Amino acid sequence: MDKLIIEGGKPLKGEVKISGSKNAALPIMAATLLTDEPCVIRNVPRLRDTMTMGKLLISLGKDVDFNNNTAVIKPKGKLGHVAEYEIVATMRGSFCVLGPLLSKLRKAKVSLPGGCVIGIRPVDLHLKGLSALGAKIDIANGFVNARVRQLKGNNIYLGGVSGSSVLATANVMMAATLAKGVTIIESAACEPEIADLAKFLVAMGAKIKGIGSPHLKITGVAKLKGTNYRIIPDRIESGTYMIMAAATRSTITLRQGSFNHLIALVDKLSEVGTKVYQEKGLIKIQPKKIIKPVSMTTHPYPGFPTDLQAQFMALMTLANGVSLIIDKVYPDRFIHISELNRMGAHIRREGLSAIVEGVRNLYGAPVMASDLRASAALIIAGLAAKGRTEIHRIYHLERGYENLDEKLCALGASVWREKTS
């Protein structure tokens, strides 16, 4: 197992290319189960999660070929309906095969994904939506078993306690594409990744209106065809580099990044004192030396993304004052606090809030990554800190950041991997 070593305190400079969106790639890859024709998906990031989804599709009877950042997914024999625990348990996003399998085969058996270190994320909205389409569902021995003679369109409300569910919207929307009649999804997730999935389905021949809004209208069709499609850039990777530039007081440029999908972050960074703007198709980040304290609350899109909360907290540890951070999407997503405090941060949790008292400097220390975005927060802190930081369990990073250490080195960071003893 590798650990990441960072010699902090060095400003970054140059240009970094943003990879394709992981959170768009996973459901789009799952959507290929809806067709018997080949699909070519471009700009797929080579990550542990996309490779896992490829393995799952292969186990279900697809042929998956990755060439650089292009995935060619073709039928190979009879399609299976069972998504086994050994694969689904390693990645929650793989649960989105439930909708397309049920719609295509009229039966599906998919392992429950379970919880994770950032809190339990139930699948009740997934099951509610598919049941409304006519599926008979039971849960036994850790599997969701779903059957239906014919999915039928219906009016479905998918709002939950913490807002709309991205993955439930994906599952129900994919299932509805081959259902009989019209499906209306109210309180659908509006995230760009859901819009990208909808556009992919339309390219396959689906009929979907209201893309990008909380009101989706899906008119079922008899079959879907193969297509050639390019995935959107990863807005969370883009946002991570924006925050990284602000924390290290570095001027950098993002190529093929997401700007319009990150207006909430751009707004908060402007309050911090960091200028983010577009110029000739590139995104420029120009921070100031003094980091102003800013309070922030996460919300579903177009609000501030929960997937950037940990990174933004790392930035606020260096602010000239006190900040308040509230995560209303995943209130338990504060495991990174203790590790940031090991580096000299002053953060305390009070209920759903984290109170961050800015310090003059962070200092390198051995720390442990608990999840994907917490890992990114520790990297930001390590780059800004004085001295050497050792980040253990960096396999989390490989789930969501393509070639991160290589990209950081290209920006001038002193970063390398070492084997743990």
Angle, helices 235-247/263-272, rounded to nearest 10 degrees:
0
Report the distance separating Cα 360 and Cα 209, nearest Å: 51
- Residue pLDDT tens, the chain, 421 long: 789 999 999 999 999 999 999 999 999 999 999 999 999 999 999 999 999 999 999 999 999 999 999 999 999 989 999 999 999 988 888 999 999 999 999 999 999 885 444 444 579 999 999 999 999 999 999 999 999 999 999 999 999 887 889 999 999 999 999 999 999 999 999 999 999 999 999 999 999 999 999 999 999 999 999 999 999 999 999 999 999 999 999 999 999 999 999 999 999 999 999 999 999 999 999 999 999 999 999 999 999 999 999 999 999 999 999 999 999 888 778 999 999 999 999 999 998 899 999 999 999 999 999 899 999 999 999 999 999 999 999 988 989 999 999 999 999 999 999 988 7
d(CA 276, CA 246): 10
pLDDT for position 164: 87
The residue ranges of every structural domain in the chain are 2-18+233-419, 22-230
How far apart are the C-alpha atoms of 328 and 322, rounded to whole Å? 20
Catalytic residue among 39, 116, 190, 409: 116
The CA distance from 130 to 66, in Å, is 31
Q: Which helix (H) or strand (E) holds 131?
A: helix 124-132
Pick the CATH number of 2-18+233-419 from 3.40.470.10, 3.65.10.10, 3.90.45.10, 3.60.20.10: 3.65.10.10
Instruction: Identify the CA nearest to 231 among candidates 286, 264, 192.
Output: 192
- Say whether 116 is catalytic: yes
Q: How far is CA 272 from the centre of its chain?
A: 24
CATH fourth-level superfamily of 22-230: Enolpyruvate transferase domain (3.65.10.10)
Whether the CB-CB separation of 170 and 95 falls below 8 Å is answered with no
Q: What is the pLDDT of residue 115?
A: 42
Cis status of the peptide bond prior to 300, with omega within 30 of 0: no
The C-alpha atoms of residue 126 and residue 108 are separated, in whole angstroms, by 13
Q: Specify the pairing of strand 296-298 against strand 322-327.
A: parallel
Going by C-alpha positions, the residue among 314, 272, 291, 298 that lies closest to residue 353 is 298
Other CB atoms within 10 Å distance of the CB of residue 178: 23
Q: Of the candidates 283, 208, 213, which has an alpha carbon nearest to the alpha carbon of residue 241?
A: 283
Q: Give me the pLDDT at residue 122, please.
A: 76
- Work out the angle between the directed axes of helices 235-247 and 372-384 (0-180°, nearest 10): 20
| Same fold across 2-18+233-419 and 22-230 | yes
Q: Please state the pTM of the whole predicted model.
A: 0.96
Strands 155-157 and 182-186: parallel
